[in-house]
Amino acid sequence: MRTMTSWAVAGRGALIGTVVGAVEGVIWWHAEGIAIIHLFLMLLVPVPLSAMLAAGLRPPRWWATALAGPLVFALLVQTLNALLPSHSPPELPKAFYALPFVLAGTVGYAAVAWIAAGRRTWRPRIAVAAALSVLVAVILQGRAAIADWHEERAIAGLGLTLLGLDAHAYQANWSAVWRDLDEGDVPDALNMEYEPRGVAGTADVRLVGVMLVPASWGSAQDLCARPSVTQSRQTCRPLPGNRWLRADEHRQFSVTAQREDTLIEVSAPSEAEALTVLADLRPVTAETVAGYR
């Protein structure tokens, strides 16, 4: 029997991985939220599918490809996902986020098949395995920094005058960039949540929300009276200085205003606190806000 070349071995491994990655990508595509059935399928499908495909294509030591392939595939999927932004920009379709499955399968299984087929030339195979291991370890170790970098870019891309609260007086709980919200709501916004320092673990925890919206969306009055919030019996009334106050049936107060190119909405448990927080907002950087998460 003619010995299979390294290219042929890697090619068969790549074919196995491409099929596995494509199937996993399709499962992910049809998943809605955190569906348990889809989670189980994504965890269980690669092993039997890899074994079936490897047994059919018969690369050298095909059983090693069938066993090690799913593990390398899972690690590479996590690695590639760590490089992608957590919030899809509008110009990137959903299909773009299914590509890591296909790419991880193609590369991972090709490498595993090629390494498993080695007989005498183990040094280059050990080098490839070590390089992949280091790459995965470095990226997964730095995934928080990568996520912050993506978040910083998304925040800077909103074109806002960034405002936040003094870190000595308030503890930032989280921040998030919202895009393409429901009809009637703002299309692009930066949301942040704070709590006063010194009250954590007590019954008197007064959460404060700050939302920043590009002024091109409308006016402070529009932000106060937008349909997405007025549906729950909320009314807006004007305050001095082109500010607007909204109170809902749960006694949550929101004040809207405009500073330069940014609309602001501050939500707090009382009117006085909302007005105080609005007055206390100071310029911050995108890097600072990205670190709130």
Name the percent of the chain lying above pLDDT 70: 85
First-to-last C-alpha distance (Å) of the chain:
59
Residue 272: count other Cβ atoms within 10 Å of its Cβ: 10
pLDDT band at 91 (very low <50, low <70, confident <90, very high): low
Q: Which of 5-19, 67-81, 177-191, 231-245 has the lowest mean pLDDT?
A: 177-191
Tell me the helix, strand and coil percentages in the chain, rounded to 5. Answer: 50, 20, 30
Q: For 201, which DSSP code?
A: T
pLDDT band at 90 (very low <50, low <70, confident <90, very high): low
Q: For 2, which DSSP code?
A: P
62 vs 16, 43, 75, 113, 123, CA distance in Å? 11, 21, 20, 7, 21
Q: What is the pLDDT of residues 22-78, one digit of tens each?
A: 999 988 887 755 556 666 777 789 999 999 999 999 999 999 999 999 999 999 999
| Strands 188-196 vs 243-247: parallel, antiparallel or unpaired | unpaired
User: Alpha helix locations (H) across the chain?
Assistant: 6-30, 36-44, 46-57, 62-83, 99-116, 122-141, 143-156, 220-224, 227-230, 271-280, 286-290
Determine the 3-state secondary structure of 95 from DSSP: helix
Q: Which residue has the tokens 């950087």?
A: 285
Separation of CA 270 from chain center: 33
Query: Which has the higher per-residue pLDDT, 183 or 255?
Result: 255
Residue 204: predicted pLDDT: 58
pLDDT band at 87 (very low <50, low <70, confident <90, very high): low
Q: Which residue has the tokens 């709130």?
A: 292
The tokens of 110 are what?
A: 């090709």
Per DSSP, the chain holds a count of helices (H) and strands (E) of: 11, 9
pTM across the whole model? 0.74
pLDDT band at 1 (very low <50, low <70, confident <90, very high): very low
Mean pLDDT computed over every residue of the chain: 84
Query: Which has the higher per-residue pLDDT, 213 or 248?
Result: 213
pLDDT band at 147 (very low <50, low <70, confident <90, very high): confident
Q: What is the pLDDT of residues 95-140, one digit of tens each?
A: 778 899 999 999 999 999 999 987 667 888 889 899 999 999 999 9
pLDDT band at 220 (very low <50, low <70, confident <90, very high): very high
Q: What is the pLDDT of residues 277-293, one digit of tens each?
A: 999 999 999 888 887 76
Section 191-196 average pLDDT = 90
pLDDT at 248 over 90: no
